[in-house]
Chain A
């Protein structure tokens, strides 16, 4: 039939020709294997370091009596925001416990905390380097832009390739995904310190270290804190997604619920994630506001 023939011919033009396809994945796989063979020790060291850090944080969080955490959240909320905010936050956390999700929340929080701490430890110095050296800034900027435009779960692939499944790749992927804001805003904050103030500090004979620690960092602190706030929020978002590589936590609950079309379970877990997000945002925002220096 004429039409069928046409369809067939057109189909040949539409489908990507088979002879042009090649399997890049194989080479990447080989590259990763090569990395593992030659730098296995290095990745093992990172892996066990991360795991040790993570497990300690998690152990601490799980050791915390549940009511103590409620009290702590209440007091923080009260001091940083208001009495009623404190009460609300404590009640919301209580709800998560009431859903039976306390331990899962702690696993999630442990990964978030670990990633945020690593992000700060790496990101602040990197941001400072960017502020001091324009060529470092020029090199980092496109990298950071790229990192921020990338959809989050893309990071799971290299993390999985290098560290397999579980918590360590989750921390790795989360850190990579969440680190750009703290780097970016540290750079911005340090560059934004008034040049007259810097000149004044230099003119009195400050060393570079004194200039950095006594003037530039305190002046940039509000901006850096805003960066840490953003980093924390991104880390939380990423932890949820890293349930795809087998991390236990609230994200995993959602994933299971979706697979089983279990609305009740999905709602409780999803709602708990929202609660965590709101409370972490408000509290870290509150801390950031505290560090504001008068202009």
Chain B
């Protein structure tokens, strides 16, 4: 994994003399107090993270938590009060005017919440803007722009004005404009928040599709957990200007670092994020196929369960036995092999629990989670599928 962006200890304070109150910020004076005492607002405080090449990194947080302030630091629309930002190993804070211009023209592009389209220009002039100001020849920029417009599904709309387009299409123009310079990094500040839910879902899928084709590094901001977990390879959760937790979606969902995050993930549709491996438990009891029915019965009794999975020496799943069958087998002197049942369901660890719901609710037995080699990794009882949803 190549590190594309590295943010180190970045603080951004708004006000007349931001540096003068750095000490107070570091001493832990609260945001409200600072605003009251000094008239300064802390936008972002001591934030650090890295983004890998080709990754979709999502920054999530409530409104006012500093997401926009942070993402605007990455192309220096905001100049951090303190800290370092490395892009491809270079600290962009130290860039002179020329290098900064070059960075913005070639390496990093931004998509805005309210599109930020130039309303006096046609769609294609908007898309060409970044190329035009670099002095790229007319024919070349025209060709590039048409191609990019096709990529975002807007072929044939190039001569319309932005106002003649729907919100979703306007944001496609915004995306096309950002892609036209072929930047390595896309900064997207709540790009879909202003869109209808349906259009929004469509745009999310298209973004994922474009991402898989073009392999850009994307830093994406949202206040919507579902969107964050759907798009993000990794997600950073912000609160009051600080990053509270960074991790892959399942991590954040299954072990939220704070109450704030717990609240946040409450309204997530978990079934689309959590996988079998996130909710499976170690089986309380296991019986080897070589053991007798008596051992099996003892295992069941001591764990107060009514069935138990049977494995071989390599933990490969052989079947399940129920307590009734086992009692009968003891009476009739049968072996476990003879009473093995196979009418349980299995799943692999990567299956989303959304897909497990029918099996889990229909089956009498817990679900067996097995890998490709049929090795038993864990079990999922019905209650954990259903409770994983809340």
Which residues does A use to contact B, with CB under 8 Å?
A: 194, 196-197, 199-207, 210, 214-215, 218-219, 293-295
Residues on the B chain within 8 Å of A293, using CB = 119-120
* Contacts A203-B75, A205-B102, A205-B105 given; does A194 touch B116 at CB 8 Å: yes
B172-186 contact mask (Cβ, 8 Å, vs A): 1 or 0: 000001000100000
Q: In the complex the two chains form, is A205's CB within 8 Å of B104's CB?
A: yes
Q: In the complex the two chains form, is A202's CB within 8 Å of B119's CB?
A: no
> What's the Cα separation between A12 and B293 when bound, in Å?
133
Q: A289 to chain B: closest CB distance in Å?
A: 15
Most B Cβ at <10 Å: residue of A201, A203, A210, A294: A203
Q: In the complex the two chains form, is A201's CB within 8 Å of B118's CB?
A: yes
Residues on the A chain within 8 Å of B136, using CB = none
> What's the Cα separation between A219 and B119 when bound, in Å?
8
Q: A245 to chain B: closest CB distance in Å?
A: 43
Q: B331 to chain A: closest CB distance in Å?
A: 79
B102-130 contact mask (Cβ, 8 Å, vs A): 1 or 0: 11111001101111111110000000011
Q: In the complex the two chains form, is A204's CB within 8 Å of B114's CB?
A: no
Q: In the complex the two chains form, is A210's CB within 8 Å of B133's CB?
A: yes
Given contacts A196-B114, A205-B134, 13 further A-B contacts (CB under 8 A): A196-B112, A196-B113, A197-B118, A200-B116, A200-B177, A203-B109, A204-B109, A205-B101, A207-B101, A210-B133, A294-B120, A294-B162, A294-B163
* Contacts A199-B112, A200-B110, A200-B112 given; does A214 touch B133 at CB 8 Å: yes
B1 at the interface (CB under 8 A from A): no
Residues on the A chain within 8 Å of B104, using CB = 202-205
- The list of the 7 closest CB pairs from A to B, nearest first, reads A205-B104, A205-B105, A200-B116, A196-B116, A293-B120, A204-B130, A294-B163
Chain A interface mostly? helix
B195 at the interface (CB under 8 A from A): no
> What's the Cα separation between A200 and B129 when bound, in Å?
10
Q: Which of A194, A206, A219, A294 is the one whose CB lies under 8 Å from B133?
A: A206
Query: Looking at chain B, what size class is its interface with the partner chain?
Result: 20 to 34
Q: Which B159-208 residues have C-beta < 8 A from chain A?
A: 161-163, 177, 181, 187
Q: In the complex the two chains form, is B133's CB within 8 Å of A204's CB?
A: yes
B77 at the interface (CB under 8 A from A): yes
> What's the Cα separation between A206 and B100 when bound, in Å?
11
Q: In the complex the two chains form, is B116's CB within 8 Å of A197's CB?
A: yes
Most B Cβ at <10 Å: residue of A203, A204, A210, A294: A204
Closest to A219 in B: B120
12 A-B residue pairs with CB within 8 Å:
A194-B114, A200-B118, A204-B105, A204-B130, A204-B133, A204-B177, A204-B181, A205-B101, A205-B104, A205-B134, A218-B120, A294-B161
B5-36 contact mask (Cβ, 8 Å, vs A): 1 or 0: 00000000000000000000000000000000
Residues on the B chain within 8 Å of A295, using CB = 119, 163
Q: A182 to chain B: closest CB distance in Å?
A: 20
> What's the Cα separation between A202 and B110 when bound, in Å?
10
> What's the Cα separation between A196 and B114 when bound, in Å?
8
Residues on the B chain within 8 Å of A205, using CB = 100-106, 130, 133-134
> What's the Cα separation between A205 and B77 when bound, in Å?
11
> What's the Cα separation between A201 and B105 when bound, in Å?
10
Q: B98 to chain A: closest CB distance in Å?
A: 10
Most B Cβ at <10 Å: residue of A196, A205, A293: A205
* Contacts A210-B133, A295-B163 given; does A203 touch B110 at CB 8 Å: yes
Residues on the B chain within 8 Å of A215, using CB = 118
Most B Cβ at <10 Å: residue of A200, A207, A293: A200
Most A Cβ at <10 Å: residue of B72, B109, B113, B118: B118
Closest to B113 in A: A196
Closest to A293 in B: B120
Q: A215 to chain B: closest CB distance in Å?
A: 6
Closest to B131 in A: A204
Residues on the B chain within 8 Å of A218, using CB = 120
> What's the Cα separation between A206 and B119 when bound, in Å?
17
Q: In the complex the two chains form, is A201's CB within 8 Å of B129's CB?
A: yes
Residues on the B chain within 8 Å of A199, using CB = 72, 77, 110, 112, 116
> What's the Cα separation between A291 and B116 when bound, in Å?
20
> What's the Cα separation between A210 and B117 when bound, in Å?
16
Residues on the A chain within 8 Å of B114, using CB = 194, 196
Residues on the B chain within 8 Å of A294, using CB = 119-120, 161-163
Closest to A203 in B: B110
Residues on the B chain within 8 Å of A206, using CB = 133
B369-382 contact mask (Cβ, 8 Å, vs A): 1 or 0: 00000000000000
Q: In the complex the two chains form, is A204's CB within 8 Å of B112's CB?
A: no
